[in-house]
Structure 1
Amino acid sequence: MKETLKPGIKYEHKFVVPTSKTVPSLYPESEEFTAMPEVFATGFLVGFLEWSCIKAINPHLDWPREQTVGTHIDVSHEAATPPGLEVTAAVELMEVDGRKLVFSVEAHDGVDLISKGRHERFVINKEKFDAKVREKGMHNE
């Protein structure tokens, strides 16, 4: 982690919602999801907010050796967004507690505020993290 990784880092990220990021595409295996409206899925919204936080702080990490993983998400999903609209996430790093990072997040689709809340990420050493995941996977063999 670089010395520049401090509260106050802000980032704005934009993304045009394609049909592939709507509810029926979230789990195509799910009969229930495929029957639902074609609007930006909450699961993809969460991923978009994570992506925005990653982009905000990557310049302040020793990327790609250091990366971050999401550890907590507490966000609303307040309005439906059809495909074709551009969503904008505005994120701000509010707290750095060791390797724990706390962000304030919100997203707007040009018409409505669609999400607001809080997201936590944890700084990892990718090599060590991958080794632990491989070890965990061996328990299934």
Structure 2
Amino acid sequence: MKPTLVAGATHRFTYRVPENKTVPDLFPEAHDFQIMPHVFATGYMVGLMEWACMDLIRPHLEDGEGTLGTLIDVNHTAATPPGLTINVDVECLEVKGKWSRFKVKAHDGIDVIGEGFHERYAVMWDKFKARVSEKAVKAGVAA
């Protein structure tokens, strides 16, 4: 990772919640999810927070590099129906080499729906994919 990512960097990510990002869509094979209300799922909120952090980091990556989420510590405090727009505000709190930590906060225009912390680690995709392939072969699930 380039040394240009520094603590204090901020970014806002905006996303309109579609009909297919509700709790029943998260795991269609899970009956308990199917009987829940059609509101923005916590799992999708976590992904949205990661996406916002990736957007902030992207200009600071070397060619062939990407980041992996390594920690998520957030709450989800308000339901959001499809059609509302969520703003995710992220702030880089700390950078140590390839590791970075962020404060994340999501708001749907009416309520703060979630906030907390997220950490990411930069990797070279080719090396990462090779390690995953080796693991799959070792487990006997490689094609």
Same-fold call, TM > 0.5? yes
Q: Matches of 2:70 and 2:119 in 1, distance apart?
A: 6
State the percentage of identical aligned residues.
49
Aligned length: 140
Q: Matches of 2:129 and 2:95 in 1, distance apart?
A: 24
1:66 lines up with 2:65 in the alignment: yes
Q: Matches of 1:137 and 1:7 in 2, distance apart?
A: 37
Residues 33-90 of structure 1 show CA distances to partners (whole Å, capped at 9, x for unaligned) of 0110000000000000000000011011124x11000000000101000000000000
Aligned to 1:81: 80
Instruction: Give the secondary structure class of the aligned counterpart of 1:139.
Output: helix
Q: Matches of 1:28 and 1:2 in 2, distance apart?
A: 40
Aligned to 1:127: 126
Q: Matches of 1:44 and 1:4 in 2, distance apart?
A: 29
Q: Matches of 1:10 and 1:47 in 2, distance apart?
A: 18
Superposition RMSD in Å: 0.8
Aligned to 1:109: 108
Q: Matches of 1:34 and 1:21 in 2, distance apart?
A: 13
Residues 5-40 of structure 1 show CA distances to partners (whole Å, capped at 9, x for unaligned) of 111111000000011110000001111101100000
Q: Matches of 1:53 and 1:89 in 2, distance apart?
A: 9
Q: Which amino acid aligns with 1:49?
A: M
Unpaired segments ≥5 residues, structure 2 = none
Determine if contact 1:9/1:57 at 8 Å carries over to the other structure.
Answer: no
Instruction: Give the secondary structure class of the aligned counterpart of 2:132.
Output: helix
Instruction: Give the secondary structure class of the aligned counterpart of 1:40.
Output: coil
Q: Matches of 2:120 and 2:56 in 1, distance apart?
A: 12
Alpha-carbon deviation of 1:99?
1.3
TM-score by length of 2: 0.95
Instruction: Give the secondary structure class of the aligned counterpart of 2:20.
Output: helix
Aligned to 2:25: 25
Q: Which amino acid aligns with 1:138?
A: V
Aligned to 2:5: 5
Runs of 4+, deviation exceeding 3 Å: none
Alpha-carbon deviation of 1:3?
2.3
